[in-house]
Chain A
């Protein structure tokens, strides 16, 4: 075993279980010991679930002893520890949305995505830190502290799937499930040096997931390798009649195309979104360019393309988002607005003043921009750009986040609705992770994984682990 156990990948753990080198119970215990030693500084968990985890780990041990269910893929993640962002409901387990509003909320039913993780044999280790209702910035006036970045003490892990990002990067978990409405899986993946996947809208059930923006919300895997993301996506993807946004799509084995390489794959490179932008860190463009050189060297055809400016995408997305978000939490805004954190209030309360005609103009713009992306995907298998504009930000409890951040480079693919993924592609001069973003047409996850996996086979960024921010 080349990696320490805490950094074993999902695929690696399955292989270890298959060979009986280690058992799910041993792994769960080992991971909880690591969580205990680091949680005091990283704050990745809102709730830890050791009793649930050990019961599931014992069941997974039986699965592996009998073999059949695992090999037939019905328990394809048997014994894999994972965590859920704390906006994903869990029966009998506290689900807070990191908000005082739901501080004592214990749902009576599992979310659809948790049902699938449980059925697949995954071992739930706990509920992971987010921003309030998966929106805003890290608020310092909530009942739980924000997660911190394991790569450097005093730095943030990125957007709202912050606990999942930090936990996977720090080797507390090999996999986590986050949610992505405008980049909330991909940004922490970028800032924590891991893989984060926003799947096609409708591919994974949103039933039982506390809403951010109904028409953009997706759940997705956060892992350390593309192969692991493909494994987890295979377990959680599928139609759910109880999610009105769910789309029926025939089951796909996301591992089938992984090793096909990139020879002849056409990649449209959107450089103008980040290169030359005032908000872009100088270390980002060379890292992305170098990553594309690697892919080009392996036979991919990389051509620079132009799409609408990020601000155009951002205005459209945020108008829709704050309107839908206010509608989701309108009752609480009318009855106990002071119980929301300052950051959430500041970013969502304005949604109450958006007129219907403004919302519909944004929806018309959304279709227009979606068509732009569809035209690009007719010509290119994958679109590539920076995963995020900057390395991780410093934690600034004294500083109010801007009402409107500079445009997110992740948002266009939420507008388009297709899959997008961030993978590590280097480090800043300060030693913080940088990221490459890959996106594909609707339901073209296999092509996106194929390109990402090929890149990871030719580089070693995903095998590096943090040390500096791991204060015990």
Chain B
């Protein structure tokens, strides 16, 4: 018997049902993001983005509201330490 550590996914809902963004959609989003791309690079983005859009839409979307994101809790002491180093560099 193969032991499984996979728990049933409570967030099985995804955004995969949404239609793929059109070239015009991608250009609008890029402009809204403040990117000023030369035309050839904008064309590259229009070709590459749909793969990434599909990836993002496969992510589970209905997690329990108490499911927190993985993040690195930085203790206040560490932030103080980094700030002190920055301050010393400023003085130098």
From 334 to 393 in chain A, residues with beta carbon under 8 angstroms from any chain B beta carbon are 334, 337-338, 342, 345-347, 349-354, 358, 360-368, 370, 372-373, 375-376, 379
Residues in B with CB closer than 8 Å to A367 are: 67-70
- Total interface residues on B, CB under 8 Å, equals 43
A305 in the interface (beta carbon within 8 A): yes
Residues in B with CB closer than 8 Å to A305 are: 2-5
Cα distance, A289 to B55, chains bound together (Å): 32
Residues in A with CB closer than 8 Å to B68 are: 364, 367
Hey, what's the 0/1 contact readout for B30-53 against A, CB within 8 Å counting as 1? 100111111001001101110111
Residues in A with CB closer than 8 Å to B36 are: 334
B74 engages A244 (CB within 8 Å): yes
Cα distance, A375 to B7, chains bound together (Å): 10
B81 engages A241 (CB within 8 Å): yes
A306 engages B63 (CB within 8 Å): no
Hey, what's the 0/1 contact readout for A305-318 against B, CB within 8 Å counting as 1? 11110010011101
B51 engages A345 (CB within 8 Å): no
Residues in A with CB closer than 8 Å to B72 are: 215, 244-245
Task: Report, nearest first, the 3 A-B pairs whose CB atoms are least far apart.
Answer: A363-B69, A367-B70, A306-B4
Which of B4, B41, B59, B82 is within 8 Å of A361, CB to CB? B59
Which of A241, A352, A353, A372 is within 8 Å of B5, CB to CB? A372
Min C-beta distance of A49 to chain B, whole Å: 27
Which of A306, A351, A372 is within 8 Å of B3, CB to CB? A306
A140 in the interface (beta carbon within 8 A): no
A interface residues (Cβ-Cβ under 8 A, vs B): 215, 241-242, 244-245, 268, 303-308, 311, 314-316, 318-319, 322, 333-334, 337-338, 342, 345-347, 349-354, 358, 360-368, 370, 372-373, 375-376, 379, 402-404
B interface residues (Cβ-Cβ under 8 A, vs A): 2-7, 11, 26, 29-30, 33-38, 41, 44-45, 47-49, 51-53, 55-56, 58-61, 63, 67-72, 74, 78, 81-82, 85
Given contacts A365-B60, A367-B70, 10 further A-B contacts (CB under 8 A): A305-B2, A314-B55, A319-B56, A349-B48, A352-B33, A353-B26, A363-B71, A364-B70, A370-B70, A375-B5
Quick one: given A334-B36, A367-B69, are A322 and B52 in contact (CB under 8 Å)? yes
B52 engages A306 (CB within 8 Å): no
Cα distance, A345 to B44, chains bound together (Å): 8
Cα distance, A361 to B10, chains bound together (Å): 13
